[in-house]
A and B are shown apart, each in its own frame.
Chain A
Amino acid sequence: MQFLARQDFPKLLESLIIAGYQCIAPQIREGAIVYDKLQSVTQLPQGYRDNQRPAHYQLEKNEDVLYFGWAVGVQALKPLTFAPRESLWTAKRDANGKLTFIETHPEIPPTAVIGVRACDLAALHLQDQHFAYNSYSDTYYNARRRQLFLISVDCAFPASTCFCASTGDGPSAQTGFDIALTEFPEGFLVRSKSSRAEAILATLPLTEVSETQQQAALAQNQQAIEKQTRQLPSRNLKAAFFANLEHERWQDIATRCLACGNCTSVCPTCFCHSESAEPTLDGSSNTQYRQWDSCFTLGHSYMHSFVLRDNILLRYRQWLTHKLGSWHDQYGRSGCVGCGRCLTWCPVGIDITVEAQAICGESL
């Protein structure tokens, strides 16, 4: 572990750019923190806190020097690896009716992402399990994923919606990063996990870390855990959910849920997508696209002549029982990393931790 003084932080950005990375980092757009291309550290959201609660998100200016003094932005890493919309291939038909299929592959430059949260690294690992480490490895996902260089920053100011401590995914990054930072007003504690990270760090004026600084990092992590007031039961909820498919709470949720799909759009682990054919007007060429889909849409469960989940109760139940239940069968753990985005961005403020407790509580 080493120390990078605050005034030297821009050198990290310079080193990454010199090494050939495009840099993506948190910035403020339309009143919210989003990841976007970064040219200068002045674009970082310095001195901001995010006030989040169910159905509420507001940035508040705080006069401190911290770049990463907020919890989580609107999106995690998901759009960088699993594109919201992308073409898969193009089919061309010649005058004789012969079809030729041409793969369309994303051309992504090496990309360094600065300011990744522990919960988002955990979510990335779940998406890796789904798309990459599977019997069919997704070449589109892999083309984006392998270009990422990840620089995490431990979360010191969880929002009221955060519950990563209860899912075991935060607030400090333990794995999945190239470089991990812990931010203090005077600078950053720096840890690294990869040889390419070492090459970047070798260019920086790093100094030894004092015992006091190490203690401060531990204390900051402990405080971030204690600030979290929400939690999910840490055990496997699969049996409890599937024993309660007829619980009356589902109907109660269905009267509130708008089936808008905001939760699935901001969820860093939701992987559903649909394919569509988009032919040119003369029919000679067609491009096959995939784009994010949501289990809250009617089309998601459409089968030739009927819709399987034709009401909101069944669609919400599908989402929650998959996320917290059957995900265990698929990938050995829950599909929730405790980022809290589905609470914040739900227009009616449905709280996954409250609903899980209401449905499973008596079965635990």
Chain B
Amino acid sequence: MTQMTVASARARHNAYLPVEAEIVEFVQESQTIFTLGLRLTDPALHAAYHYAPGQFNMLYLHGVGEVAISIVSDPEHEDLLTHTINRVGRVTRGFAQLQVGQRIGVRGPFGRGWPLREAEGQDVIILSGGLGCAPVISVINYIMRRRERFGHLTIVQKVKHVDEFIWPERYEKFKQVPDTTVLVASTEGSVNWRWDVSPRIKILEEVQVRSERTVAMMCGPEGMMQSATQYLTSLGMQESSVYLSLERNMQCAVGHCGHCQFGGQFICKDGPVFAYSEIKHLLGTRGI
């Protein structure tokens, strides 16, 4: 199906209505973080389901409600739709108790994802804080599978506690990939912690901007992203080449319910990924 027909099919379709999906995989990543691998139970819908890294789905837990979760699987190389979820709220606590074979509802994909076309041929810096690594892991995997299309890759992951760092074995593998720098730090260390221990985002100071042709993509607390952007632009990066994934209360996911407004932007529809230049006037302002 072409982009056009997908768009027009969606215009006719009721974007509020979920479809059924089966949990095919359930992976406990840490004490509170888990990954659901989903397959839409209608094979035709599953085959026709297209998405881009950085987009999200609304996942429905029967009788409890919906929650917006980013898609972490690779749209071209993975059959299952995977979502990595932190058990923090009413709906996600419910999802944490599900098992393989159980059914949930899915509607999506929604939003504007990462600028992967634009990043081709350029150096890429990927920065995340806390569970921000879930949205960006889709980009990291995407680039790793197509490594030759991109320049130098820098991956920065900052966590407060070592428990928040999931997928250590993946980061070990990323380190072995040529032309790739991996920087991981935790505010608090522990006995088996093999990466850096540093406060705030001091680890950023190790990031090098090697070329004017560099794109940065980041996800995490807004204060962290703001400091990181200021640092990267001080090294010569363009504000329009720094992309941030924002998060707000989302209920409808189609720009109608009003909860996710960030100034004039609807994060669910106009984002969640924005160029810094699009949002800098309000980023970091209390209550926006």
Chain A residues with a Cβ under 8 A of chain B = 88-89, 91, 93, 97-101, 103, 130-131, 134-140, 238, 242, 245, 271-277, 279, 283, 286, 288, 290, 293, 295, 300-305, 308-309, 313-315, 317-318, 322, 325-330
Contacts and interface: CB of A to CB of B under 8 A. Distances in A.
A274 B257 contact: yes
Contacts of A302: 249
Contacts of B264: 238, 325-330
Give 3 nearest A-B pairs by CB, closest first. A329-B264, A314-B287, A272-B258
A103 B265 CA distance: 29
A131 B63 contact: no
Nearest to B285: A245
Given A99-B20, A293-B257, A303-B248, A242 B282 contact: yes
A273 B258 contact: yes
Contact of A277 (B15, B65, B92): B65
B14 interface: yes
A100 B248 contact: no
Contacts of B64: 277, 279
Given A136-B15, A271-B256, A91 B105 contact: yes
B75 interface: no
Contacts of A97: 101-103
Interface in B6-24: 10-11, 14-20
A308 B248 contact: yes
Name B's interface SS.
Answer: loop
A286 B62 contact: yes
Contacts of B265: 329
Interface string B245-279: 00111011011111101011110010000000000
A283 B61 CA distance: 12
A283 B286 CA distance: 40
Contact of B88 (A131, A304, A313): A304
A215 B14 CA distance: 49
Contact of B11 (A89, A137, A273, A303): A137
A327 B286 CA distance: 19
22 contacts: A88-B17, A89-B16, A89-B17, A91-B62, A97-B101, A101-B20, A135-B254, A135-B269, A140-B16, A271-B258, A272-B258, A273-B252, A273-B258, A275-B66, A277-B66, A279-B64, A286-B63, A293-B258, A314-B286, A318-B288, A327-B264, A329-B264
B20 to A, nearest CB: 5
Given A103-B14, A275-B251, A309-B287, A138 B259 contact: no
Contacts of A295: 258
A180 to B, nearest CB: 30
B256 A138 contact: yes
B251 A131 contact: no
Interface residues of B, number: 47
Nearest to A328: B264
Contacts of A140: 16
Contacts of B88: 304-305
B60 interface: yes
Contact of B249 (A88, A98, A99, A300): A300
B281 interface: yes
Contacts of B254: 134-136, 138
Interface string B40-77: 01000000000000000000101111100000000000
Interface in B62-114: 62-66, 88-89, 92, 101-105
Contacts of A137: 11
A300 B62 contact: no
Interface in B210-229: none
Given A139-B14, A272-B257, 15 more contacts: A97-B102, A135-B255, A136-B11, A136-B15, A137-B11, A274-B257, A275-B65, A276-B65, A300-B249, A300-B259, A301-B249, A303-B249, A309-B287, A315-B287, A329-B263
Contacts of A238: 264
Interface in B234-249: 247-249
A137 to B, nearest CB: 6
B21 to A, nearest CB: 9
Contacts of A245: 285
A89 B104 CA distance: 15
Nearest to B253: A136
A270 to B, nearest CB: 8
B257 A273 contact: yes
Contact of B263 (A130, A242, A273): A242
Contacts of A329: 263-265
A12 to B, nearest CB: 35
A98 B104 CA distance: 9
Nearest to B20: A99
A157 B124 CA distance: 64
B105 A308 contact: no
Contacts of B41: 98
Contacts of A99: 20, 62, 103-105
Contacts of B18: 89, 91, 101
